[in-house]
Structure 1
Amino acid sequence: MIHYLLKSISYIFHPLLMPLLGVIFYFSKTPRFIPEPVIRAKVFSITILTVILPILIYFLLKTIKQVESLELKTSKERIIPLILNVLILILILKRVLPYEEIPELYYFYLGILFSTLACLFLAFLKFKASIHMIGSAGFFMFALALSIHFKININGTIALMCVILGAIATSRLHLKAHTNAELVMGVFIGLTPQLVLLNYWL
């Protein structure tokens, strides 16, 4: 029972969902007026580019035997998906979330881009940083920054995110998907770009 619970945590809080979750969280908390059609268009575009497209790419790579599983268990398997994800993130920054429209989301995705590049660099060095921890830690830092930026109380959300981070780390260790070092490196890679970029929008 515990095994299936911990395994389900890895799927429920999959790193593919974290960029989209950041966008939804922003629109739910921002005090700024943003027309509803604009919000729907942004969420729809992000869903297509960060969730649907990567899943289709995964099945294509699996068909041509470039990856074996959704877990991307080896550092070699990660290289092509990460390169393609970098290209997708650049497209989002250029077309979907340009700086002039929503600076907070622009810098959030810029941080995700830097985290992805760092993860790709480590993959070339045959080090497999936890992408689950990268995604969840990056979202955690962004949510915390938004609470300061907009002066809103999200203590409940922050507490919940701390529990979720712990649950994800426990899940990855239980499934033997990562070592402690890979989890710690994932948290570092996820948090650091978001933290550094706060100087430009907070």
Structure 2
Amino acid sequence: MPLIAVVFYFSKSPRFLPKELIYSKLISLGLLSVVLPVLVFYLLKTLGKAKTIYLQSSKERILPLVVNSFILIVIIFRVFPASQLIELHFFFIAVLMSTLSCLILALLSFKASIHLIAVTGVFSFFLLLSINYSININGTIALMCILIGAISTSRLYLKAHTVLELFVGLFLGAFPQIIMVNYWF
């Protein structure tokens, strides 16, 4: 989801950015947010720390969330420092806040929906970016609403989460993004 948010930002932002900068940021982010987590998952599976990719228990989520937090810290300080792309810097700080909140809940044996945290965080970022730059993204907003509904329905249908866990996921995805928008300016 962060890669989708960054691609969206680069496609909708009215700022001029050199193509080399965009490509280097996308490649770095792709390696850190897609390739590295897949490799870490296989390492955790080999070590017996993760049974499946679904991370069904709250205990099973703790180590992957810690690793993801460290990856996000690298992204925040090395890929999107505040001096370059302020909106993306604070987007990733909000993602880190969501991840740490989910980690704290996992330590307390509560299993918030990481799927909804991710999609709602990206949806909130899209909305805030649209408001900030006064751009019309009605189609994207409609698509994201359908996506949030489909993910929520599937999580309930599969009995992976309760309604409370879904609402907590929605809140943890949106609230940090709303807080961080104040630092964009």
Normalised by the shorter chain, which TM-score bucket?
A: over 0.9
Which position in structure 2 is the counterpart of 1:177? Answer: 160
Which position in structure 1 is the counterpart of 2:14? Answer: 31
1:91 aligned onto 2:74: yes
TM-score (norm. length: structure 1): 0.90
CA-CA distance at 1:171 after TM superposition: 0.8
Question: Moved runs in structure 1, 4+ residues, more than 4 A?
Answer: none
Which position in structure 2 is the counterpart of 1:193? Answer: 176
- 2:120 counterpart (123, 137, 147): 137
CA-CA distance at 1:130 after TM superposition: 0.2
**Amino acid paired to 2:167:** V
Deviations along 1:172-198, whole A, 9 cap, x unmatched?
Answer: 111111111110000000000001111
1:56 aligned onto 2:25: no
TM-score (norm. length: structure 2): 0.99
Which position in structure 1 is the counterpart of 2:138? Answer: 155
1:71 aligned onto 2:50: no
Distance 2:15 2:53 in 1: 38
Which position in structure 2 is the counterpart of 1:117? Answer: 100
Distance 1:194 1:46 in 2: 19
1:135 is paired with a residue whose SS is helix
CA-CA distance at 1:149 after TM superposition: 1.0
**Amino acid paired to 1:142:** F
> Any unmatched runs of 5+ in structure 1?
1-17
Identity of matched residues, %: 54
Distance 1:79 1:38 in 2: 34
**Amino acid paired to 1:57:** V
Distance 1:172 1:52 in 2: 25
1:99 is paired with a residue whose SS is coil
RMSD: 0.7
1:108 aligned onto 2:91: yes
Deviations along 1:85-115, whole A, 9 cap, x unmatched?
Answer: 1000001111000000000000000000000
Distance 2:166 2:42 in 1: 26
**Amino acid paired to 1:197:** M
Per chain length, whose mean CA-contact separation is higher, i.e. which structure has more relative contact order (CA < 8 Å, sep 6+)? 1
Distance 1:100 1:26 in 2: 17
Deviations along 1:108-165, whole A, 9 cap, x unmatched?
Answer: 0000000000000000000000000000000000000111111100011111111110
Distance 1:91 1:43 in 2: 14
- 2:5 counterpart (22, 25, 28): 22
